[in-house]
Structure 1
């Protein structure tokens, strides 16, 4: 089973060719209940062994999770995170053949603040999720996406007295009651109202979520965060990233271990399991996910690039079962880019910067076009507005404030597209603008003393 691979060139399987009376291809004596991969029929027990093996083999092959290590598991309440939680519970139970050795804790990030939902519906959904978390007996935390706006610096570390706590421990009397009484920051809703496209909104939500998970993990001394990304979701992310100019991030976005956040590692233990297999696993074990609406719930096919890509990949996967595996295996051959300095990463998504290109590149052509299209200010100015007459009376560049062009210099190409959809960069999280401002200050200081520096090549 370790060498199970989908065929590279499979053809569409007619539905009429799939019989309901087939016998399990593994044990040969039990009626099959599910067809996996191209046309492989498995019974209930063999299918569960098949999924559990994928999960455990993915963890085992990495050799990254140590015995007794405390792991933070991100639980959204959806089908994938519910399946991952159940796999962990089964792996830690007394009846498991080989018990898992790590110690899980759970965290839920409430992202419904970006939707125009009644507070009662939001609280009801959170109550259902917390019921699931409490039932596990593991340490549990809950936070909201609004908290990501108040992280004080680029490292994401929480400083007592500077902002609100990023999460509530529901095991220490800080549960749903205190969480519901907290004043939800309206700035998040205002930011999303100012962003034009749904694609930019989805990217912004993803970045805020990752930053908040990183901050919570640091605050409670976790070094790894488990994400419930299936192979289907990763295949969608690969094509979506390429379509949005994030091709250089494909490797870190889809590999097992995402180390772009420095001391916090994101791991994806069910990256070899498809969404179809997750749905069947939940059905066989009667795992009941909690429905949590998103930005594209009941949206049209072309509502966003992610949503359109999802429709394309899942539609193709239904006819050609090797679609997802071929996409993920191809992307798996790409090398991940690591940081080489303190300022070579994007302040928003923490990915390596991909904007250090030559003057004859397509990026420079786009930037030049944007500069020419601006009106009312000197094209060479780095400010977002001009108050002078071209005679030196402009004071905009002398004000110690952060402007769009300052932030854009500290962003990767994909995040630049997201920020361009915003009307004001001050709506970005405080730690993002602070890091961008620090870089600009260091750059200006370096320019001021450039004549006094010794060239390292001389």
Structure 2
């Protein structure tokens, strides 16, 4: 029987922890921080510890070669600022063993997602750009709405040049001191901005919006890296953030993609590899590193800023993980160790990858699977309604309107789009009233796949089975 009376506090009062003066576990000097329960460090030993962990992560992978160009994503937050400072220190003359790669920096402005005005977005971009330009590395500035107008087909054929050779059409900002003047011309993507707003407003849940924004951000990074000649994209994801992503992916139906989303190297794209060199850093270690080195950061609001914990799956998962981490310091490390045991097979052809997130398709399942049951239920629920294909061609239509339109550019149907998506991205598309609101490069990719499938069907009787003729 419950003994709590009316007006009494249900949760017990938390006692303040009494922390005695600790000594460094390495050199016996006075400790200035404790990363875990028994890991106390002085300032000098902590810097050596963090630097070694960062350098070891890059060295063990053997993925980044000497002289290789690496695009570093900078968001202005704690983790990306920590990564930028570590790279800057590793390339400086005082480093014991200098890093060998050539970094370029990029910032993606996502102010459109939270309704920031042009002046507010310009102020934010200026603050981040000032931090990036102090490093002396090539700098790029992108807006999230540019993802609506990407041209994937011309990415590999684009001319390659340094960011110092500024081109306004690419919004590449060099270090010549004229960047602030060029930023006044940056936010001029009115049509693309309106398309992105319509797309985000079509999604009902914040979870779907977060998932879409993450995919669009990744598409911009991959596209910029291809056009500018970068073979790697380096992101500042720490272990706490990746642990949240791991549990969020499982909750959203991306369990098959967990290994790619949390591993050191994400090789889902054939030309570009995404690396996460500070994935072994906890959020506490990142924050303490920034404090001890006076690393500047910029706070930029997101769609879940000041939102309740239940606003989205990722926001709720973050609250859960950080709450456990406060009382059980091994929470994130245990989650990460579990995720490292998972593996995802990479698909060789692009048609076996999701058109939105580029992850391998996980929809090739037997008839008795849960996905087949969901698809059957959807078919039964729609059996009473008849959906006609709408011709979207400027030329004269064949006039049938039953899906057999022979016009050059027919509008993609929902079934065409869903067939090219993974399970989790299919859940995202469910909330869209019109799938043709998706970005141009995604629709072009799906249209190309549909034409190839149609062509293969027409000539399949003339194809030889290589396995039977070996």
Relative to the length of structure 1, the TM-score reads 0.89
Distance 1:31 1:382, change over 3 A: farther
**How far apart, in 2, do the equivalents of 1:50 and 1:109 lie?**
31
Three-state SS of the structure 1 residue aligned to 2:403 is: helix
Is residue 25–residue 42 contact of structure 1 (8 Å, CA) maintained in 2? yes
Three-state SS of the structure 2 residue aligned to 1:235 is: helix
Q: Does 1:330 align with 2:338?
A: yes
Task: State the shift of 1:193 in Å.
Answer: 1.1
Is residue 152–residue 431 contact of structure 1 (8 Å, CA) maintained in 2? yes
Q: Which residue of 1 aligns with 2:174?
A: 170
**How far apart, in 2, do the equivalents of 1:294 and 1:252 lie?**
24
Q: Which residue of 1 aligns with 2:3?
A: none
Q: Which residue of 2 aligns with 1:352?
A: 360
Return 5+ residue gaps in structure 1 as ranges.
1-13, 386-392
Q: Which residue of 2 aligns with 1:362?
A: 370
Task: State the shift of 1:457 in Å.
Answer: 6.3
Three-state SS of the structure 1 residue aligned to 2:67 is: coil
Please point out which of 404, 407, 412 is paired with 1:398.
404
**How far apart, in 1, do the equivalents of 2:259 and 2:154 lie?**
22
Q: Does 1:84 align with 2:83?
A: yes
**How far apart, in 2, do the equivalents of 1:383 and 1:367 lie?**
20
1:237-279 Cα deviation digits (max 9, x unpaired): 1000000000010011111111111111111010000111101
Task: State the shift of 1:113 in Å.
Answer: 1.4
Is residue 388–residue 401 contact of structure 2 (8 Å, CA) maintained in 1? no
In the TM superposition, 1:175-190 aligns within 5 A as: 175-181=179-185, 182-184=187-189, 185=192, 186-190=194-198
Q: Which residue of 2 aligns with 1:313?
A: 321
Is residue 156–residue 214 contact of structure 1 (8 Å, CA) maintained in 2? no
Q: Which residue of 2 aligns with 1:265?
A: 273
Q: What is the aligned-residue RMSD (CA, Å)?
A: 2.2
**How far apart, in 1, do the equivalents of 2:170 and 2:119 lie?**
22
Q: Which residue of 1 aligns with 2:65?
A: 66
Q: Which residue of 1 aligns with 2:22?
A: 22
Q: Which residue of 2 aligns with 1:10?
A: none
**How far apart, in 1, do the equivalents of 2:262 and 2:376 lie?**
33
Please point out which of 426, 433, 436 is paired with 1:426.
436
Please point out which of 312, 315, 322 is paired with 1:304.
312
**How far apart, in 1, do the equivalents of 2:219 and 2:285 lie?**
29
**How far apart, in 1, do the equivalents of 2:383 and 2:182 lie?**
50
Task: State the shift of 1:341 in Å.
Answer: 2.5
Task: State the shift of 1:172 in Å.
Answer: 6.0
**How far apart, in 1, do the equivalents of 2:297 and 2:82 lie?**
8
Q: Which residue of 2 aligns with 1:4?
A: none
Q: Which residue of 1 aligns with 2:149?
A: 150
Is residue 187–residue 427 contact of structure 1 (8 Å, CA) maintained in 2? yes
**How far apart, in 2, do the equivalents of 1:39 and 1:229 lie?**
25
Relative to the length of structure 2, the TM-score reads 0.87
Task: State the shift of 1:167 in Å.
Answer: 3.6
Is residue 104–residue 138 contact of structure 2 (8 Å, CA) maintained in 1? yes
Q: After alignment, is 146-155 or 183-192 more displaced?
A: 146-155
Task: State the shift of 1:288 in Å.
Answer: 2.0
Distance 1:24 1:432, change over 3 A: same
Q: Tell me the number of residue pairs that the alignment of Structure 1 and Structure 2 aligns.
A: 432
Three-state SS of the structure 2 residue aligned to 1:397 is: coil
Is residue 348–residue 415 contact of structure 1 (8 Å, CA) maintained in 2? yes
